[in-house]
Amino acid sequence: MALLTLNVDGELNQVAPIAVAVRGACAPFLDEEGLDAVELAVVEAATNVIRHGYGGRPGGRLSVSVEQVPDGVAVDLVDHAEPMPPRLLEAAEMPLPGDPDHVAGLAESGWGLALIRLSMDEVSYRPGPDGNWLRMIKRRA
């Protein structure tokens, strides 16, 4: 049973309200650190869909749902944008070498998928004829 279901326009001005609603739905099940992680992942995922999947064009839709799972929460995002290339999510890694100058010199964009993977305990993606489905699970600490 879903704790929250949202169906919104795929526009950047919807990202903050989505994040607030998802955080509120997850609040009974996660500590502050877990809530911060979920919020970060949801903001990154929704922004990626809107900017890259829909290309910023109007008319796209985004469905977001939150449900309790036995050891935490699952957040699902479904869109009808162009699917991500195969294995892009698995290949996403956060560059964290020991040299702070290296990290400081990296581009600001392009870290979204890595941030999602680092923030959540499980992340899966499935493109399909009924939409692209991203599931992110965060377990209680």
Q: Which amino acid is at 9?
A: D
Q: Comparing 9-13, 38-42, 54-58, 91-95, which segment has the lowest mean pLDDT? A: 91-95
Nearest to 40 by CA among 126, 138, 141, 139: 138
**What is the pLDDT of the chain when averaged over all its residues?**
85
Residue keyed to tokens 């036995």:
70
Res. 93 pLDDT band, cuts 50 70 90: low
Residue keyed to tokens 């990290």:
103
Rounded to the nearest 5°, which phi and psi values hold at 73?
-135, 155
Mean pLDDT, rounded, for 13-17: 96
CATH architecture of 2-139: 2-Layer Sandwich (3.30)
Q: Has residue 79 got a pLDDT over 50?
A: yes
DSSP, collapsed to helix, strand or coil, labels residue 71 as coil
Res. 56 pLDDT band, cuts 50 70 90: confident
